[in-house]
Amino acid sequence: MCRWAAYCGDPIYISDIVTDPDHSLIQQSRRASQGLTPTNADGFGVAWYGSRPEPGLYRDIYPAWSDPNLKSLACQVQSGLFMAHVRASTGTATSRNNCHPFAVKRWSFMHNGQIGGFERFRKQADMMIADELYASRKGATDSEALFLLAMTAGLDASPKSALKTAVEQLQALSETRGEAPHMRITAAISDGEQLYALRAASDEHAPSLYYRREAAGWLVVSEPLQDDARGYTEVPSGSFCRFDRNDMAIEPF
């Protein structure tokens, strides 16, 4: 299972999350403490927002700890809203197109979890993606399919409703054609203005998710970035979160 971190607030360096903390995302790519797999070496990615509506995106297939370009970029780029991800594949190939985050127009998305038996109903899931969005289906992951199904369901109008529709569609396919666990998910999604996060599962084993108020904004993570986890609050399973630079809210999902 993957590890990810997202930030929303006053601009900070990406390195403040990805490389610098005691238990930074790069450290989690080697030694995650709360995921099913301690090593997340099947690629990485960063999406960040600046002065343009569309996010910048940097992804590659190498382990995050071994890429000097990631460290250089993280030390130089400042952003008020960004997300970063280290990947542990659940079956699909290690390729750049399968690395998170995914970005389409102004939206960016990343995911940790699994949709049971996705390879058995991938064709059916892909056929539910709107024709005008299907050209954006570059990879083979369940995560990208979930993102594009949420866009099909109307992310621009209501992120929560669109994600709920997409999750329900894929969970129903898993229950009919796949296998358990049918849905385990934490996800982050952003339009460059707000950061949304989701934690849910069809059983009692939702992947871990936490948030913390920083001096300059909000931090949302798969697991704390410090060995001392004081200040972090666990997001309850079955929750949808909204963060902007000054405030946050949690609703049932």
pLDDT over threshold 80, residue 187: yes
**pLDDT given at position 198:** 98
pLDDT over threshold 80, residue 215: yes
Cα gap 106→79, rounded to integer Å: 15
Residue 158 covered by a domain? no
H-type alpha helices, the chain: 15-18, 25-31, 68-76, 118-127, 131-134, 142-152, 159-177
pLDDT mean across residues, the chain: 96
* Residues 200 and 213 sit within 8 Å (Cβ to Cβ): no
**Which is more confidently placed, 215 or 108?**
108
**pLDDT given at position 228:** 85
Confidence of residue 247 (pLDDT cuts 50, 70, 90): very high
**Which is more confidently placed, 88 or 80?**
80
Confidence of residue 89 (pLDDT cuts 50, 70, 90): confident
Helix axes 118-127, 142-152, angle to 10 degrees: 30
Confidence of residue 77 (pLDDT cuts 50, 70, 90): very high
Paired with 81 in beta bridges are 8
- Strand-by-strand arrangement of the 248-252 sheet: 102-104, 107-114, 184-190, 195-201, 239-243, 248-252
Residue 201 covered by a domain? yes
Domain count, the chain: 1
What would the mean pLDDT of 55-63 be, rounded to a whole number?
A: 97
- Cα radius of gyration (the chain): 16
The C-alpha angle with vertex 172 and arms to 171 and 173, in degrees rounded to 5, equals 90
**pLDDT given at position 93:** 87
Residue 65 covered by a domain? yes
Residue 155 covered by a domain? no
* Residues 222 and 186 sit within 8 Å (Cβ to Cβ): yes
**pLDDT given at position 35:** 79
The C-alpha angle with vertex 232 and arms to 227 and 234, in degrees rounded to 5, equals 115
Q: Characterize 154-186 residue by residue with b for buried, 16 or more Cβ atoms within 10 angstroms of its Cβ, and e for exposed.
A: ebeeebbebbbbbbebbbebbeeebeebbbbbb
What would the mean pLDDT of 11-30 be, rounded to a whole number?
A: 97
**pLDDT given at position 8:** 98
Confidence of residue 94 (pLDDT cuts 50, 70, 90): very high
CATH of the domain at 214: 3.60.20.10
Cα gap 58→70, rounded to integer Å: 8
Helix axes 159-177, 118-127, angle to 10 degrees: 130
What would the mean pLDDT of 16-28 be, rounded to a whole number?
A: 96
Range of the domain at 202: 3-113+185-252
Residues identified as active-site: 2
What would the mean pLDDT of 28-39 be, rounded to a whole number?
A: 89
pLDDT over threshold 80, residue 225: yes
Helices vs strands, H then E, count in the chain? 7, 13
pLDDT over threshold 80, residue 1: no
Nearest to 107 by CA among 153, 44, 172: 153
Residue 207 covered by a domain? yes
pTM for the predicted model, two decimal places: 0.96
**pLDDT given at position 36:** 76
Cα gap 125→138, rounded to integer Å: 14
pLDDT over threshold 90, residue 143: yes
pLDDT over threshold 80, residue 185: yes
* Residues 155 and 107 sit within 8 Å (Cβ to Cβ): yes
| pLDDT tens-digit readout, 96-130 | 999 999 999 999 999 999 999 999 999 999 999 99
What's phi and psi for 167, nearest 5 deg? Answer: -65, -45
**pLDDT given at position 209:** 98
**Which is more confidently placed, 148 or 37?**
148
**pLDDT given at position 190:** 98
